[in-house]
Structure 1
C-alpha cells in the first residue's frame, strides 16, 4: 500500500508539472521507477503506458476551451506516430549514455532559446498552413517522434517549442496539442510496441495511471488559468531542469 501511495504521489507531481509546462513528466516519473527497482526497458515501457493517462486528463480540460486545431492535430498524428514506432523499435541498440548527453544538451538549449526570446509564444499567430509548411512541420514532428519513442524525458518539450517557433502558436495552444496528441497517441503507440517487444510492470500501473490522469487535468487547468507568460516561464525552468538531470544521470 505504501508503495502504491508513493507511486501515485510521484506520478501526480510529475504529470501536473508536465501538463502545465508542455512536457517533462519523465524527469521525475521515469527515474523514480528505476530507483524503485525496475530495469531500464521495463521502466521505459511502464512509464510510456502511464503517460497516456496524462494526455487523457489534459484532453478533458482543454476540450472545454476549444484549443485544438483539427488539421494540425491530424498532422501531428500522421507525422509523429511513424517516428515514435521507429524510435521505440531501435531504443535497445542506442548507447544510453550518449543518447542522454545529447538530449540533455538539446533540452537545455530549448529553455535558453525561449528565455532569450521574450515575446516567443505569448501571442497566437497560427493560421491555416501552406503546403510547404505542412511538409516542413511534418518532417520536424517525425524527427521529434523518433526521439519520443526512444527516449524518456523532455521530448514533449521539443514538440511544444516546435509548434511555437515554426507554426506560431502561443504556449497555451501549443501545450494543449502536445499533451493531447503526444500524451495519448504518440505515447500510446510507443507503449504498445514496447509492451510487445519488452515488458510492462502491470502491478504498478493503477497508481501511476490515476496520478497521471489527475495530474494531466490539474496541470491543464493551471495552464489555462495562468496564461502564456507563466507557461513560458514554466517551460523554460522545466527544460533546463530536465536537461541538467539528464546530464547528471549520464555522468
Structure 2
C-alpha cells in the first residue's frame, strides 16, 4: 500500500471503531467495505477485518476493566453460548452466497433500532432478569444464534448482542456495551478470526494499520461511553443500527 492509502485506512479504522465502541457494535459498516474498495477479495477482506476487530475488543477491555462493568457469571455464559456459534458460522460463510443474508440482516438491524426508539426507557436502568431456569437457557440459545451470525456476517452482529443483553437479561446500555465489546469484540471475533485464518487468507501486511486504528478507536469509544452514560449510548445505538441496516440492504 502507498503511504497515503495507509493513512486513509488508519483514519477509517479509527472512526469506525470509535463509534462501534461507543454504541456497542457496527465497525464493519465502514471498515469492511473499505478493505474491499482498496482491492481485497471478499473472503480475504472478511478474514482481515475479523483479525483487526479483535484490537477493538482489546482497546475497549483496557478501559472497561477499570470500571468493573462485567458480571462474572453472565460473562462466562455469553462465552459458552456464543463461541460454538461463531465457529459454526465462520466455517460455512466462505462457501455461502451472502447477498440474501445481508438484506435479511439489514431489515432485522433496522428493526433493532426502531424497537429501541419506541421503547424510550429501554436500557436506561440496570434491572437483572431471566437469570434462572428455562428463560436463562432460552437466552443462551439466542446468544448461540447471534454467534453464528457473528462468525458468518460482517456488520452489525455486536448490535444484536447489545440489545439482547438489554432486553432479555436486563442490563442497562452501558453494561451491555461493555459485555459486547469485551466478549464479542475480543473473544467471539478472535475465534472467528482464527477459524477464517485457517480456512482462508489474511492480508497480514495491512494489519498493523488496522490494528492501530482499532485499538485506539476501541479505547476512545469505550471512554466516551463510560463518561456519557446510558442515554447518549442509547441514541448512538439507535443511529448506528439504522445506518447499518440501510447499508446492508442497499449493498
TM-score between both structures, scaled by the size of structure 1? 0.97
Structure 1 residues 228-247: aligned runs within 5 Å:
228-247=230-249
Unaligned runs of 5+ in 1: none
Matched, 1:224 2:226: yes
Q: Give the match for residue 69 of structure 2.
A: 67
The total of aligned residue pairs comes to 249
1:193 correspondence with 2:195: yes
The one-character-per-residue Cα deviations of 1:218-240 (angstroms, maximum 9, x if unpaired) are 00000011110010000000000
Cα offset, 1:7, TM superposition: 1.3
- 1:169 maps to 171
Matching residue within 116, 119, 125 for 2:121: 119
Helix, strand or coil at the partner of 1:184: helix
From 66, 83, 108, the equivalent of 1:106 is 108
Alpha-carbon displacement from aligned partner over 1:49-98 (angstroms, at most 9, x marks no partner): 00000001001111111100001110111110100000001112322110
Q: Out of 129-138 and 148-157, give the one that drifted further.
A: 129-138
Match of 1:204 in 2: 206
Give the whole-Å Cα distance in 2 for the aligned partners of 1:91 and 1:115: 32
Find the counterpart in structure 2 of residue 20 from structure 1. 22
The answer on whether the counterparts of 2:129 and 2:168 sit within 8 Å (CA) in structure 1 is no
Aligned match of 1:138 in 137, 140, 158? 140
Find out whether 1:9 has 2:11 as its counterpart.
Answer: yes
CA displacement, residues 193-245 of structure 1 (integer Å, 9 cap, x when unaligned): 10010000001000100100000000000001111001000000000000000
- Does the 8 Å contact 1:144/1:155 carry over to 2? yes
Deviation at 1:127, TM superposition (A): 5.5
CA-based RMSD of the aligned residues comes to 0.9
**TM superposition shift of 1:48:** 0.2
Structure 1 stretches of 4+ with a deviation exceeding 4 A read none
Q: Matched residues in 1 for 2:207 and 2:36: separation?
A: 14
Equivalent residue of 2:124, what SS? coil
Residue equivalent to 1:82 = 84
Q: Deviations over 1:130-153 (max 9, x none)?
A: 132331111010000000000000
Q: C-alpha distance in 2, partners of 1:26/1:17? A: 11
Asked if 1 retains the 8 angstrom alpha-carbon contact of 2:130 and 2:169, the reply is no
Match of 1:181 among 183, 206, 209: 183
What secondary structure sits across from 2:94 in the alignment?
helix
Cα distance in 1 for partners of 2:171, 2:55 equals: 24
